[in-house]
Chain A
């Protein structure tokens, strides 16, 4: 159609002006899309770190309200902020067939070989049968013997610990010496137990050494296909009948809260990118108004020889559409590069860039760019179409 052709030629004849207006849209799309990509990469990256604990329900003694130290033995072991074996058995029965894992936890002084510095690190006590359910090893083997232990990957790296290394626990090794049988795979941030900088010993060794017959937490590994929220409710109903004895945390729900927070952050930074798009829209509006003002006489001639208002309007809307579409598409392509740069600089990884969810902010950015351009073209186009042909013809 002739009006499409006129729109194209007018943009071409004012190449610098058109390019600058388009550049605004390109920057706007890149800002929105790359911020979206960054947010998405962040969520995917954290999600990857947390997925190992995504199917856990963690039961801890209730620490708040009135069930503190002053309540004596009433209601069970919450008095000393531990979970008794009896309570553990109740939890285990309630959640079956999901696996309930009792966890003992402390921190102690330890020494790695003669002449080395004394350090303090967390110690977890777990039943050797439960260990494979909760963590994987990157080297060595699971320890069934009380004299063996596993170490976290960060612990192993920081203290140069290898399979077979010996760790003396307690002041001058008074609690015994353990031999490292395996190094635990990195688990990242986790809600149940954080083993990366810790050592894991057998439940038996822990109970004997620290004279314990209760647990710090119980981790319930929820089977696939089972809703963790239901498991959480089941435990609460079973344990907190009269008084609140335990606090139950559904890691999936917690994850959802975290992701929701990330989502809010992504939306916020994307909105900041959106401001640049608004500025780009103003620039489009500005050059469209300029275009109309420069071509008042031409519009008058068009109208006088039989061009309808809607046809004049379409001519200017085509200009806005070309600026918006070309600018947005260029911006879309560049935002992949910008997303790549930001991801590799801020997150040190680009492995989450080429996934479908990263394409969504690009599509959103491109669509927003086109919509803003069209919206900013409407008034100038309307103004052009509604000029009085007589006044327009008279215009010099």
Chain B
């Protein structure tokens, strides 16, 4: 829990009034041969430090586009996106990649761990990307313990542990570089309800300790864990 305490201290600072994420009139248009498709049409919202937000909407509503933009995997056609005060619109690929590495933690539905690396290597991977050298595995172990993963599993490969345990490893990997935002794409979508509830309890605990979480889901029960819900339909925020 040392790691979470550090995180708690980090979020209480002079930057607290600045939103960790700000969307201002964001439009995303995909040019297709059959005609342009507007996936997001003037989306504006802000996410403050320490919030737990769920994004909900039907299929084709623009959820994935929104997720890609929030994760700095794409840039808007027009409008502005700020991540911790940094505008991403004009950033190069290298800058966007560094932003993803340092400011955003990703959690995917299918865990997406690297099968060639063991659990501790999976968790320390983003640290190595950041430091560009070998890292102390102790930090990774500490984060793994904070997501309630047993020490004896640390040297196993992802395929040797259960789905719930894999998702805990994925959460640890997302947290290891102390990101400003934890971006989750259907984090319990591939888990049974009991394991899913365990993961959501963990995320609630992380949020209580200060981690900002944005979670895309279509499961209303899962969305109930969040403090605020953004509903999206036809590329617009409806609630």
Q: Is the interface of A mostly helix, strand, loop or mixed?
A: helix
Whether a CB of chain B sits under 8 angstroms from the CB of A254 is no
Chain A's closest residue to B135 (CB) is A2
Does the CB pair A2–B128 fall under 8 Å? yes
Query: Min CB distance, B176 to chain A, in Å?
Result: 10
Does the CB pair B73–A389 fall under 8 Å? yes
Among B102, B108, B129, B130, contact of A301 (Cβ-Cβ < 8 Å): B108
Interface size class of B (residues with CB under 8 A): 20 to 34
Whether a CB of chain B sits under 8 angstroms from the CB of A311 is yes
Whether a CB of chain B sits under 8 angstroms from the CB of A138 is no
Q: Is the interface of B mostly helix, strand, loop or mixed?
A: helix
Whether a CB of chain B sits under 8 angstroms from the CB of A175 is no
Docked pose: A273 CA to B137 CA in angstroms: 48
Does the CB pair A305–B93 fall under 8 Å? no
Contact with B along A300-324 (1 / 0, CB 8 A): 0111111111010000000000000
Among A2, A9, A13, A390, contact of B73 (Cβ-Cβ < 8 Å): A390
Does the CB pair B68–A306 fall under 8 Å? no
Chain B's closest residue to A12 (CB) is B116
Query: Min CB distance, A393 to chain B, in Å?
Result: 8
Does the CB pair A301–B112 fall under 8 Å? yes
Does the CB pair A305–B126 fall under 8 Å? yes
Query: Min CB distance, B112 to chain A, in Å?
Result: 4
Among A1, A10, A306, A389, contact of B126 (Cβ-Cβ < 8 Å): A306
Chain B's closest residue to A308 (CB) is B97
Query: Min CB distance, A241 to chain B, in Å?
Result: 79
Whether a CB of chain A sits under 8 angstroms from the CB of B3 is no
Does the CB pair B112–A309 fall under 8 Å? no
Whether a CB of chain A sits under 8 angstroms from the CB of B82 is no
Docked pose: A390 CA to B71 CA in angstroms: 10
Query: Min CB distance, B232 to chain A, in Å?
Result: 18
Q: Which residues of B contact A129 (CB under 8 A)?
A: none
Whether a CB of chain A sits under 8 angstroms from the CB of B91 is no
Does the CB pair B130–A306 fall under 8 Å? yes
Kindly list the 3 A-B residue pairs having the minimum CB-CB distance in the complex, ordered from nearest.
A306-B101, A9-B116, A301-B112
21 residue pairs from A and B, CB less than 8 Å apart: A1-B134, A5-B121, A6-B114, A6-B117, A298-B114, A298-B115, A301-B108, A301-B114, A302-B114, A303-B73, A303-B97, A304-B73, A305-B106, A306-B100, A306-B130, A307-B97, A307-B101, A308-B98, A308-B129, A309-B94, A389-B73
